[in-house]
Structure 1
Amino acid sequence: MPENGLGRREVLGAAGISVCGLALAGCGGGETKAQPSLKGKVIAKTADVPVGGGTVIEDLQVVVTQPTQGVYKAFSSVCTHKGCAVGAPKENVIRCACHGSEFSADSGKATKGPATAPLASYKVKVEGDGIVVA
């Protein structure tokens, strides 16, 4: 037994638990889907994203917002609390119907719990009438 009182098995067991915990963090205990690369992909049309609101692209698990005229943002549509899908933004607020979490449509920051972590963000740009992941 080493000086710190932990044997090889205890250290390896603790490391395994830590790795498993990291793999499950943020997935709400459900299965996670492999997210295809969105880089270079048109994810929405500018005409489909109202000012102060937005749209959810369900098959890509992305929510696209336009917090102010001509400014577009994109975030994961998976709530950071338990993994539920968030709804389309209204009045610059992205809401999760499962437990009431709210996120800012301009930053993805959690503004009302139970979620405390922000939504993952995507860098986007406008090309023609499309919103493209940069």
Structure 2
Amino acid sequence: MRDDLKSRRTLIAGVGAGGLTLALTACGAGGEQVSSAATGSGTPASSAPAAQDAPAAGLGAAGDVPVGGGKIFKEQKVVVTQPKAGEFKAFSAICTHQGCAVGSVADGTINCPCHNSKFSIADGSPVAGPAKQPLPEKQITVDGGQVKLA
């Protein structure tokens, strides 16, 4: 492999606890880093419980989501917004432009730091930047003051 390609791509593989973890990192078209990972645990995929069988995942308190703003839940890759008092929306926290994680919610938009795409807190539609597709909507419930993924 040429030296310039070696510097652009890194392959890391490790074996531990009876499984294999493989991660590939490469530069994307805009120079940002794009990553993917695959993990083999030795457990057949068919034995994993179906997503619809999983209980609702708690995100946090509804009171932590400001009216006219939102909160990013990095671990779950979800952003929850409150466009109007008592109206909660949730979207993927992964930008539809090139897969970066969104970084903030301010002034009525969900903002991606990689290429300055901005999305509406009301419906996830792109309002600025290179992104052309809306953030995918996520289903949530608000029960007992808690926001949960449905």
Q: TM-score w.r.t. structure 2 length? A: 0.63
Gaps of 5+ in 1: 1-27
> Which residue number corresponds to residue 145 of structure 2?
129
Runs of 4+ in 1 over 4 A off after TM superposition: 36-39
Match 1:30 to one of 30, 35, 38:
35
- Give distance in 2, aligned partners of 1:39 and 1:78: 23
Q: Which has the higher helix share?
A: 1
AA in 2 matched with 1:96: C
Matched AA of 1:78: I
| TM-score of the pair, normalised by structure 1 | 0.71
SS of corresponding position for 2:63: helix
Find the aligned partners of 1:64 and 1:33 in 2 and give their Cα distance: 28
Quote how far apart the aligned CAs of 1:86 are: 0.7
- Contact 1:53 1:88 survives alignment (8 Å): no
Over the matched positions of the two proteins, sequence identity in percent amounts to: 40
| Corresponding residue for residue 42 of structure 1 | 58
Query: Match for 1:119 among 135, 138, 150?
Result: 135
How many residues get paired? 106
1:133–1:101 Cα change, 3 Å: same
Partner SS state of residue 132, structure 1: strand
In structure 2, relative to structure 1, the CA distance for the partners of 1:33 and 1:52 (3 Å cut) is farther
Structure with more strand by fraction: 2
Match of 1:53 in 2: 69
Residue 32 to residue 73, structure 1, CA distance change in 2 (3 Å): farther
Give CA-to-partner distance per residue, 1:68-126, whole Å, 9 cap, x none: 10011111111011111112311221111110101000101111120001111112221
Q: Which has the higher contact order (CA 8 A, sep 6+)?
A: 1
Distance 1:87 1:129 in 2: 25
Structure 2: state its 5+ residue gaps.
Answer: 1-32, 40-49
